[in-house]
Amino acid sequence: MEQHLPKGIMIFPKHEKAPDFVIATMVITMDDLNKFYDDHEEFFTVYQGKKQLRLQILKSKEGKPYPVIDTYKKEPF
């Protein structure tokens, strides 16, 4: 399965002193994300008139979280 990595979205493992309910920290750099949108509109969908980018958070072999674009599409009946 080919993975598409979004530009402008980074996820970092939680700090060792963070409480248990913290899973990770996400940083969104809007200039990079906007450029990614301009270059890859095919990954964005529209829901209720608003553009969306669906992501999945995966775990690397080293155990670190990272975002990928969710390209799953339901099969028509």
| pLDDT one-digit tens code per residue, 37-77 | 999 999 999 999 999 999 999 999 998 999 999 988 777 77
In the chain, the DSSP E strands lie at 9-13, 24-28, 44-47, 50-53, 55-59, 65-69
* pLDDT number for residue 49: 96
The total number of structural domains that make up the chain? 1
- Domain, as residue range, for 45: 9-69
Interior/surface letters 46-76, b for 16+ CB within 10 angstroms, e for the rest: eeeeeeebebeeeeeeeeebbbbbeeeeeee
Spatial separation of the C-alpha atoms in residues 6 and 68, rounded to whole Å: 6
C-alpha span between 52 and 33 (Å, rounded): 12
Query: Is there a domain that residue 2 lies in?
Result: no
Q: Is residue 76 part of a domain?
A: no
pTM: 0.79
pLDDT value of residue 1:
63
Is 37 a domain residue?
yes
